[in-house]
Structure 1
């Protein structure tokens, strides 16, 4: 009976959500157009255009769809990231890049959480910003935000993290290839450094292939290994959320959110070789569009005036995280070489 009731109410639910979903979709399409023509990250354009349209998230017909896009569409997009990587891709690189990625991700997140506390922030903000820096930029920020406990400032913290990490990723895409050339790195070593340090996948690809095809291939695989670290970090965030729910007397959330489980299952399915290339490509495209629409929805929910109140310290924190990651990667590559 409950299933029948849900099916019968689906058209009504869709009518309620349609205005907000359409608004997020239009902003996402406009962001993709601007990104293709000006070369800046599509996530950054989606955030900025979304914030310009924040009046739509007030009490009105668009609000339910925007809320749905910022939560459920976001989770589906994160789950579909699993179609980007396979276990064989990770194994083929050998133990050196694996050690590099695990050490960079773990140490960057730990140092970020400690630095956040020293600067007077909630430790979870350090996990959010450190995870975005260490794993895969805006996508990691959105995934971790979805797994962390609810907080009045969570949306603002997430939006701020995505803006700063996208900007820093663009700067790194320009500067880091020049740094690898100045250090005399060969294409394989340069690819490992770029894949281990630049935040967003698109910027890693752009930086790697600007050096050579070999550097681009290695950078992409190392970057996808960092994306694979999203699952254990989400698990860690979920454990903190469960503890928080227990301490506050609230209901304990599941150990792993459904989107994290779906992410892991898609990685394993993709590793079997049964998934056709066309399905992988379609899944990646859908994931990208869903994440862009979701970040547009999050932007619509945030007012610029509120974002401006965060001050300088969060920017210092994230710049410091980026520099720490770069220095750590250089040191580890020197040791592993």
Structure 2
């Protein structure tokens, strides 16, 4: 896995208006999503103190990504990507409206929370490949890697703001208001997508059916050895690192003795660390190749998990999660950039 340097500044893609508008809208949309996730994870600790039940919230949100990754990529490659994204935003808004109503009426149960989180995970699974696939349509070819890094930076800006804001809203006004703020964020994203002046011929000329495209994606993936390397390393890193996200609500509440606001601060620390990591990425790429960056990210993540297991003081937990954020975005942008570099447009969503 190798890297190449972009000829432009790390922030050069923001000089292109369409990318800048969609990027800003997604930052706001992701901020709302993180607010929703904080409310859901914390509410589950109220509904059930079982570690398995708390972890189920994370599992319900991420399982659809595992189950629907390739079908979502197929839909990304054969449908109009803008219309598809708008439909997914409507689905996600409906999920948050349902959560808001149930929370306000006191009818939210463990099963309802997990079920609606699963539906939200379906939306995230459908949306993820599409957002990544439209990047080359929004920026010049030389700016693709910087745009990918900026997308990751935007997610982590949202991660630094959303959880803290969600925790404060949850503590001050309750879950209904927190979910309502998430609903409002989806309307902003929909408005930006409607405004996007996408070229009518942006889709590839080769029209494919769903099952034919599905098989073609599998054939390409089986044949692409460079993509095998990216997928294997991503699977190893994220399978184990995801334990932090699954159990962090219990770590914050039971192990560290914090409240909803403190849980939001912990997640915010991850986001802040990711922002710092993103800003350092250009210099890190000058000193280390992709293998070195990924190895460093894995070592730091392992050390953070070990530190949290020792029930450190709250201020220590915040500091180590800053390092986790930097390691997470390093791994994410390194693997994502490598995948974008080896995938042709016709199979990019599936890849």
TM norm structure 2: 0.34
